[in-house]
Amino acid sequence: MTTNTYLDHATAALTQLRQQVPLVHCITNNVVTNFTANALLALGATPAMTDIPGEAGLFAQMASCLLVNLGTPTPVQAEAALEAAQAARAAGTPWVLDPVAVGVLPIRTALARQLLELRPDIIRGNPSEILALAGQGQGGRGVDATHSVAQAEQAAMALAQQYGSVVAVSGAVDFLTDGQRQVRLANGTPLLTRVTGGGCALGAVLAAFAALHEDRLASSVAAVLVYTVAAQMAAAQADRPGSFAVQFLDALASVQASHLRQWADIRVA
């Protein structure tokens, strides 16, 4: 696919998302639940935070897509995450793994290894998390990356090839791959790193777009592009974290195909 093809897919996917209103099942950390739900609602999707064992698997089969975020993996939530991922895999529901702080902390690292065997459709993380998940690093400093995106690109390719996933590495220039194709997106703003949930909500948006099309890489590019262009639109109106967070939700609600065509910086390898 060319740059223009990815851009055309993204503009079509944004319209499709708002028409179809995918139901996004989020098993996510308790720090970002509200922000994630609001981001999905603003964009045009429907969030559901169902993380109770005995219900999580049932809901994963009903939902359009699933996000598993390991930010605060309590024993109950870990059980629900495994149950939901197993059910999603059996039902053909696309699902996203966000391995927050993997490598640094042992419980979530072991859980991430179990979830990997269930072959997530998409893996999203910062460079240090992706390196650790691929067995090529020890993680970052908590949730903060200590590696560059460029350092994690080969690890992302290896993960994608081994598990059949699309891997999205977040950074100043995002890197996405399905193990064969490579795409870089240079949109966004550093203010996303100054708001709680700026990265985690992207995992939910990736899930929402994955529900729309079988080409997971193209859908992931669409998700990241829409999210980061909206962030740039917000940053043009607000230069501090608090006001940016409000403007960002408004931008997610108002971003249109014309904005994507004006702002997009897509680089196809």
Task: Read off the tokens for 266.
Answer: 């897509």
List, as own/partner pairs, every contact residues 77-80 make where C-beta atoms lie below 8 angstroms and the sequence separation is at least 24, other chains included.
Answer: 77/27, 77/51, 78/107, 78/111, 79/53, 80/27, 80/50, 80/51, 80/52, 80/53, 80/55, 80/56
What's the one-letter identity of residue 105?
L
Tokens 């895999």 -> residue: 89
Q: Which residues are annotated as a binding site for ATP?
A: 124, 170
> How many CA atoms lie within 13 Å of 133's alpha carbon, on the beta-carbon side?
40
Place of tokens 């006001």: 243
Binding residues, as ranges, are 49, 124, 170, 197
CA 129/CA 42 separation, integer angstroms? 28
Binding-site positions for substrate read 49, 197
